[in-house]
Amino acid sequence: MKEYDHLSIEKKWQKEWEKKKVYKTLNTSKKKKYYVLDMFPYPSGVGLHVGHPKGYIGSDVFARFKRMQGFNVLHPMGYDAFGLPAEQYALEHHIHPRKAVLENVKAFEAQLNKIGFSYDWERRVNTTDPEFYRWTQWIFLKIYNSWYNQKTNKAEPIEKLIKIFEKSGNVGVNAAGTFTSEFVAKEWNEKIEKEKQDILMNYRLAYEGYSEVNWSPVLGTVLANDEVVDGPTGPVSERGGYPVVKKEMRQWFLRITAYADRLAKGLDTLNWSDHIKEIQKNWIGKSVGAEIDFKIKDGQNIRIFTTRPDTIFGVTYLVLAPEHPALLNLKSKIRNWDAVSSYINKTKLITPEERMDSKEKTGVILRGIVAINPANGEEIPVWIADYVLVNYGTGAIMAVPAHDERDLEFAQKYILPFNEVIIEVFGDILKEPIRRDVVKAIIVRNNKVLLVKENNEQYSLPGGSYELGESDLSALSREIREETEYKNFKIKDYLGSVERFYRKDMKNNTGENRVRRIAGYLVEITNEEKEKIQHDGWITETKWFDMKEAIEVLKKTDYNAEALFIKKILENNHCFVSEGILVNSGKFNGFSSEEAKIKITKEVGGKIVTKYKIRDAIFARQRYWGEPIPLVHTKDGIIKPLGDKSLPLKLPDVKSYEPTGTGDSPLAGVKEWMKKGLETNTMPGWAGSSWYYLAYMTQGISNFQFPIFKNNTKAKRTKEAIQYWKNVDMYVGGQEHATGHLLYSRFWHKVLKDYNLVPTEEPFQTLRNQGMILGEDNRKMGKRWGNGVNPDDVVKYYGADTLRVYEMFMGPFESSLPWSTDNIIGSRRFLDKVWRLQEKVVTKKMSRTVLDISTNTKLEALLHKTIKKVGDDINNFAFNTAVSSMMILANEMEKQEEIKQAHFEMFLKVLNPFAPHMTEEIWKFLGNKTLLVNEKWPKADPKKMLELEVKIVIQVNGKVRADCMIILNTLENDVIEMVKTLPDVEKWLLGKEIKKVIYIPNRLVNLVIF
RNA sequence: GCCCGAGUGGUGGAAUUGGUAUACACGCAAGACUUAAAAUUUUGUGACCGUAAGGUCAUGUGGGUUCGAUUCCCACCUCGGGCACCA
């Protein structure tokens, strides 16, 4: 047997596969399609470390497995080379980014190819290739020339909207956007072109706007929120750690908010990890609430947004964001305008970060302004405060200190009234409550709470029912005096009310259903008071408890109301923010929050609306290295899109591509460019990655063609290709893209779907996230800590197959785990072992000894079980256990004198996706003329998995006491009788009576004795 | 603060629907081969008590349900991730 020389074997087979084009994928096949995709990398130039290929190895194992299972597998790779990282690299090394990208791609690909991936390289894409970005630009124009019709719930051509305007104005139009004023057809038709275009800009899915953005003076560019991280002295850029400040700038935006609902709903149909879905869901931030108008006395309405219209009777003031537009109209009426305007200016000066960091709430009352609560006609003050954000909801809120922590904090600071309107309920909610109100005193001394033990073994606290016409306080004082002998007590605080439901005793049919409202008060007594409690002699014992302890005791005795009150004292927070039952709410008293929300909104003339946290995406960079935005600014100030025939709008060659530092893109310095009036912003890094998975579907980007011209064969073929591949079936990549790429590409895909350019609603059906490989020091691997491990070195020393097996064996695919140079040897030893097994392989004719039938069937059973397990595990991305089961099989095979060739070949097939080179070599050595990569996945035969004998465990009282072998499927009674006679079991049964026997067939017997 | 996820040997980790906890691998120890080393290989390896047979205790902590709990329920602790004045 020759030596396992991984270097020559791997080189040989990589050449052979390339020569025979075994990974070339055709778009026509009788086989079922399967699309396995990796998130494509940006070729950074510093080279790969062993962490980078982990995801690629996982998807490659999966793709090879699917291929062997008989699928037509699309498994491509390409490069995301536009954007900041590529440009930064070029700037640092003083070479043109185009050149840098080409060099880096070459180096990158050389490294990848050593690991033996099964990519169809003919489909390679590069986002910086004009043939590629021509379509990025084309899709952008499609988005630009669209508006979102909320009646049909999809994007539609802007021409259609113009026709509607010409015919009937915008009155009946329900479009996504912020445009509020109305016009009729006549008004529209009389407008000049510039005015029309300005209005349309409010409807387009790609629109120009001005906004405060993250401006990095050093990088000379604007950054997206997810490119900014917290630094020690404020926000800094994620890349480079340069300081970031706020700056108002002209921007392009994509109206992703129009798709918020579809993006949220679509998540339910996806086979993604709950974790990623959760992140996207939070990011979209859907919440259903009501918009309600509060009338300003002698003035206009203020529209507020709230998710809790059921608390409207508890409103004690209104708050507007300092930037709220209504302030201008109110200006003349505001008597303290000086104070108000200085507060507004102050808010403008501080950054949003500072605004969020400052824990103390601030605000100014608007003197002279009075609002009217539409629910009860009450007059309430209006404030401005920076804890209300202008760009969420309506920029104004109704404040309910009793049921919102932020409002409470504000109300406490400025001494504003507190009005409780919701109380908590235990048990069921009765439609028509029958109340028996009680009041409870939580008596404390030195932070200890007094618990009173009644005869019926329950703990209680002093308290009782009201007498006719009594207020809370007088009833409480009376009850305390009656039940205790305390004279020196102080009612310190109101703890809120709760409602408790008591069902009548159905069994004995006694009592009645009733609801009790329990009001809680904190009562403090002085140390001098003696512990005297007396009440008709039914109290047997009193005790002072530590507060936490008291809660536990009360919970056990079902006195939840008291426990809740004590918890409130401990947390020093009397704000009940959950839903409950309405009180102090006029005719809505007794309603549940859920019911009241709808009824009250209707009553006050409000509207149920849905709001989202997600913001429109900024789609512009003031940089050179990005796709040019194909728009022209005319002299009249109108923006016009380029025609399809003018695409691609190529990035011009410039001498200096460094940022100008003024905020303008380097394109603003190109004469030719400016003469044509072309847009100077370029697209952000995520543009190309939002549709690249479609580009792979045709064989080479030069064959890609969206249907621009009718009857174009290229366009027809592209359409067929997209219809065939549909969407990505398995997508593998890092979870850091949860709120970026993965959201944006879903958005673009949905726009394309609205134009029937793609057949599915979602681009990525299943998503798997690989964990990182950390350095041996448990820190992030890379240049920063100098702990990077180069895959080239590992491939050279141990081989690509060992690298592949080890990275899959390390642990669960999704976990981040440290690299270990100690542990990798185990994977190499495993492959060495498999290599040596060749020697034991015999064909039928060659058999030197008579194979022991029983050990042979045993091995066969293990083999078939392993085939099944490896297949199942790969499907579940549980590669680590797949490898481990193959190790068990190899260990077992090693113990055999001889291995049947057919058995060993089946083993090679299941190992092939993990170690393609070595298995291919052995396959050939065994005399096969075909290539192993083209072989079919072996079938696991369930009949052959069964073993004649199985081990069962015998437990006595649930503890394992013995085990023994039985013939498969022995009858229950026979097993139990036999098991009782085992010496290890018998001694435990001696003199005891068996109460119960639990029998799990072929697994376990549990004898229960006493 | 709120919302997710996770805590298992010296280490990475495994365990189907509640049914032998610690598979597989690394490391370590002892033996074989060797002049020697490396490589390979054999055996052992959760903790404690015991010469042994055997027993007791162990899946972050404390309770509960069950014949039986890493798995289900409750409370708490620690770590990781996401969001963070979103009304």
Scanning residues 729 through 758 of protein chain A, those with a beta carbon under 7 Å from any atom of strand B turn out to be 739
Task: State whether the beta carbon of A289 lies below 7 angstroms from any atom of strand B.
Answer: yes
Query: CA(A75)–C1'(B36) in Å?
Result: 52
Task: State whether the beta carbon of A298 lies below 7 angstroms from any atom of strand B.
Answer: no
Range A441-448 average pLDDT: 82
Cβ of A335: how many Cβ atoms within 10 Å?
11
pLDDT, chain A, mean: 87
Q: Tell me the CA distances in angstroms from A476 to A450, A463, A520, one per residue in order.
A: 16, 7, 10
What pLDDT, on the 0 to 100 scale, is given for residue A889? 94
Task: State whether the beta carbon of A950 lies below 7 angstroms from any atom of strand B.
Answer: no
Scanning residues 127 through 186 of protein chain A, those with a beta carbon under 7 Å from any atom of strand B turn out to be none
Task: State whether the beta carbon of A66 lies below 7 angstroms from any atom of strand B.
Answer: no
Overall residue count recorded for chain A in this entry: 1010
**Complex prediction ipTM:** 0.95
Task: State whether the beta carbon of A826 lies below 7 angstroms from any atom of strand B.
Answer: yes
A494 vs A105: CA distance, rounded Å: 70
Range A764-768 average pLDDT: 95
Which carries the bigger pLDDT value, residue A14 or residue A409?
A: A14
Nucleotide nearest to A822 in CA–C1' terms: B26
Query: CA(A598)–C1'(B64) in Å?
Result: 41
Three-state SS at A386: coil
What pLDDT, on the 0 to 100 scale, is given for residue A418? 84
pTM for the model stands at: 0.88
Task: State whether the beta carbon of A861 lies below 7 angstroms from any atom of strand B.
Answer: no
What pLDDT, on the 0 to 100 scale, is given for residue A559? 67
Query: CA(A817)–C1'(B47) in Å?
Result: 27
Query: CA(A988)–C1'(B50) in Å?
Result: 20
Range A55-67 average pLDDT: 97
Task: State whether the beta carbon of A829 lies below 7 angstroms from any atom of strand B.
Answer: yes
Task: State whether the beta carbon of A881 lies below 7 angstroms from any atom of strand B.
Answer: yes
pLDDT surpassing 90 at residue A579: no
pLDDT surpassing 60 at residue A825: yes
pLDDT surpassing 70 at residue A723: yes
Query: CA(A904)–C1'(B31) in Å?
Result: 32
Task: State whether the beta carbon of A610 lies below 7 angstroms from any atom of strand B.
Answer: no
Q: Residue A750 contacts by C-beta under 8 Å, 6 or more apart in sequence?
A: A259, A262, A263, A266, A761
What pLDDT, on the 0 to 100 scale, is given for residue A530? 66
Nucleotide nearest to A1005 in CA–C1' terms: B19
What pLDDT, on the 0 to 100 scale, is given for residue A761? 96
What pLDDT, on the 0 to 100 scale, is given for residue A352? 62
What pLDDT, on the 0 to 100 scale, is given for residue A324? 92
Query: CA(A658)–C1'(B61) in Å?
Result: 58
What tens digit of pLDDT does each residue of A925-942 get? Answer: 999 999 999 999 999 998
Which of A145-149, A234-238, A312-316, A581-585 is predicted with the least confidence, judged by mean pLDDT?
A234-238
pLDDT surpassing 80 at residue A450: yes
Task: State whether the beta carbon of A821 lies below 7 angstroms from any atom of strand B.
Answer: no
Task: State whether the beta carbon of A887 lies below 7 angstroms from any atom of strand B.
Answer: yes
A437 vs A424: CA distance, rounded Å: 14
Share of residues in chain A with pLDDT > 90 (%):
52
Nucleotide nearest to A399 in CA–C1' terms: B87
What pLDDT band is residue A857 in, cutting at 50, 70 and 90? confident
Nucleotide nearest to A883 in CA–C1' terms: B24
Burial A254-271 (b: 16+ CB within 10 A, else e): bbbbbbbbbbbebbeebe
A144 vs A142: CA distance, rounded Å: 5
What pLDDT, on the 0 to 100 scale, is given for residue A679? 96
Nucleotide nearest to A963 in CA–C1' terms: B20
Q: Which two tokens stand for residue A754?
A: 């609205």
Task: State whether the beta carbon of A825 lies below 7 angstroms from any atom of strand B.
Answer: yes
pLDDT surpassing 70 at residue A695: yes
What pLDDT, on the 0 to 100 scale, is given for residue A44? 81
Scanning residues 952 through 991 of protein chain A, those with a beta carbon under 7 Å from any atom of strand B turn out to be 953, 955, 957-961, 963, 984
Query: CA(A853)–C1'(B44) in Å?
Result: 31
Query: CA(A551)–C1'(B63) in Å?
Result: 16
Q: Residue A941 contacts by C-beta under 8 Å, 6 or more apart in sequence?
A: A864
Task: State whether the beta carbon of A945 lies below 7 angstroms from any atom of strand B.
Answer: no
Q: Name the residue closest to B83, CA to C1'.
A: A282
pLDDT surpassing 80 at residue A573: no
What pLDDT, on the 0 to 100 scale, is given for residue A686? 92
pLDDT surpassing 90 at residue A654: no
What pLDDT, on the 0 to 100 scale, is given for residue A434? 64
Share of residues in chain A with pLDDT > 70 (%):
90
Query: CA(A959)–C1'(B54) in Å?
Result: 15
pLDDT surpassing 80 at residue A232: no
Task: State whether the beta carbon of A1000 lies below 7 angstroms from any atom of strand B.
Answer: yes
Cα A892 from chain centroid (whole Å): 43
What pLDDT, on the 0 to 100 scale, is given for residue A785? 78
Which carries the bigger pLDDT value, residue A551 or residue A558?
A: A551
A57 vs A65: CA distance, rounded Å: 12
CB A198 within 8 A of CB A605: no
Q: Which two tokens stand for residue A475?
A: 């009833």
Query: CA(A49)–C1'(B25) in Å?
Result: 23
Bases of chain B within 7 A of a CB of the protein: 3-5, 12-15, 19-21, 23-27, 40-42, 54-56, 67-69, 82-87
Which carries the bigger pLDDT value, residue A154 or residue A509?
A: A154
Range A896-905 average pLDDT: 90
Q: Residue A866 contacts by C-beta under 8 Å, 6 or more apart in sequence?
A: A885, A886, A888, A889, A907, A910
What pLDDT, on the 0 to 100 scale, is given for residue A520? 86
Three-state SS at A511: coil
A433 vs A436: CA distance, rounded Å: 9
Query: CA(A992)–C1'(B50) in Å?
Result: 27
Nucleotide nearest to A890 in CA–C1' terms: B24
Q: Residue A224 contacts by C-beta under 8 Å, 6 or more apart in sequence?
A: A214, A617, A618, A684, A740
Pairing relation of β-strands A841-842 and A459-460? unpaired
The conformation of residue A937, written as its DSSP 8-state character, comes to: P
Scanning residues 337 through 396 of protein chain A, those with a beta carbon under 7 Å from any atom of strand B turn out to be 355-356, 358, 361, 386-389, 392-393, 395
Query: CA(A589)–C1'(B7) in Å?
Result: 47
What pLDDT, on the 0 to 100 scale, is given for residue A45? 79
A394 vs A383: CA distance, rounded Å: 15
The conformation of residue A655, written as its DSSP 8-state character, comes to: S
The helices-and-strands tally (H runs, E runs) of chain A is 33, 38
What pLDDT, on the 0 to 100 scale, is given for residue A205? 97
Q: Name the residue closest to B75, CA to C1'.
A: A552
* Rg of chain A on CA atoms, in Å: 37
- For residue A441, the one-letter residue type is A
Nucleotide nearest to A319 in CA–C1' terms: B87
Scanning residues 395 through 414 of protein chain A, those with a beta carbon under 7 Å from any atom of strand B turn out to be 395, 397, 404, 406
What pLDDT, on the 0 to 100 scale, is given for residue A227? 65
Task: State whether the beta carbon of A888 lies below 7 angstroms from any atom of strand B.
Answer: yes
Nucleotide nearest to A885 in CA–C1' terms: B24
pLDDT surpassing 90 at residue A107: yes
What pLDDT band is residue A957 in, cutting at 50, 70 and 90? confident
CB A193 within 8 A of CB A171: no
Q: Which two tokens stand for residue A473?
A: 């306080």
Cβ of A888: how many Cβ atoms within 10 Å?
14
pLDDT surpassing 60 at residue A793: yes
Range A151-155 average pLDDT: 96
Query: CA(A844)–C1'(B15) in Å?
Result: 38
Range among A202-216, A232-246, A316-330 with highest mean pLDDT value: A316-330
What tens digit of pLDDT does each residue of A612-635 get? Answer: 999 899 899 888 999 999 999 999
Which of A117-131, A289-303, A991-1005 is predicted with the least confidence, judged by mean pLDDT?
A991-1005
What tens digit of pLDDT does each residue of A422-432 get? Answer: 887 765 555 55
